[in-house]
A = this chain, B = another copy of it.
Amino acid sequence: MACWLNGSAINELSLLERGFAYGDGLFSTMAVVNAQVRLLDLHWQRLLRGCQRLAINTEHFEHWQRDFLLFLQAYPHSIVKIIVTRGEGGRGYLADPRAATNCYFYAYPALNNVLAHQQGIATGFLTGRLGLSPLLAGMKHLNRLEQVLLRRELAQTIYPEALVCDVNGKVIEGVFSNVWLVTNGQLLTPKVHEAGVEGVMRSHLLALAGRHGLSASEAILMPDDFIAADEVFFCNTLNGIWPVRQLNSTILGNNPITQYLQQQLAYVR
């Protein structure tokens, strides 16, 4: 693992980092192949939108983007995580307006077996529920304790990924992916305005489907909508699309639209 902070390699974090004290920041994770990241613009756009919602200073945004190209050259086959935090601070929630934003790049070893689950997985519903937080919903922020607890619950199942509902019983996402269903030829993914993450691959698929003449939209979806669906799949930028072959005890049949999207993604890559 290697890390750069604001363009320079570092070995440790500041004790004053507000990302540590309060999770006061955002992140985005991506695969690097031949020093390239697909959908990189969408990752940066999401980080920028998140900073704007959190009022994190982005005056050096173009600097971060330039430094990142150097980082990709240094770690051309890797998994990279960009973390942006409000920077250093003392005790107390109130940030020093003079604090300088910190932009970290972490490089991890590349994944080996991303393809296995692209043939399809069995899945089900977790019992842990996502909270509702309109102030934070949609952002890939550093407050990820719910995901830590849900990932732990997932590890106790036989599923590689599973569906998670919010406290009102609406389906929101997987533990580390977004989720889609197909019904009557129409693609639907849960709204993430109360809970959940606006994933980069989710955003990409919303746009991609439209360009390919498919109907794709956000909706309020309940577990029964997924159980009755023609096709179900998870997506994120690291794993692409994981089709669901079995949901609880229900075997899903042909998944032509899921396969079509998988083919389009392979082309994009």
Q: List the interface of chain A (C-beta within 8 A of B).
A: 1, 3, 10-24, 27, 29, 54-55, 79, 81, 83, 86, 90-95, 106, 108, 128-137, 141-152, 155, 167, 175-176, 194
Contacts and interface: CB of A to CB of B under 8 A. Distances in A.
Given A55-B152, A135-B149, A145-B54, A20 B22 contact: no
A93 B175 contact: yes
9 contacts: A1-B15, A21-B83, A54-B149, A94-B151, A131-B132, A131-B135, A132-B167, A134-B167, A135-B149
A155 to B, nearest CB: 6
A64 B152 CA distance: 26
Nearest to A154: B94
A233 to B, nearest CB: 20
A118 to B, nearest CB: 19
Contacts of A142: 20-23, 145
Contact of A29 (B22, B29, B91, B130): B91
Given A1-B15, A132-B167, 20 more contacts: A1-B16, A1-B90, A3-B15, A12-B12, A13-B20, A20-B142, A21-B83, A22-B23, A23-B142, A24-B145, A86-B148, A93-B175, A93-B176, A128-B135, A131-B132, A132-B133, A133-B146, A136-B146, A143-B143, A143-B145
- Scoring A144, A145, A146, A155 by chain B CB atoms within 10 A of each residue's CB, the highest score goes to A145
Contacts of A128: 135
A87 to B, nearest CB: 12
Contact of A144 (B3, B23, B106, B151): B23
In the A-B complex, the 8 residue pairs with the smallest Cβ-Cβ separation, listed nearest first, are A131-B133, A23-B23, A12-B12, A143-B143, A93-B151, A13-B13, A22-B144, A20-B20
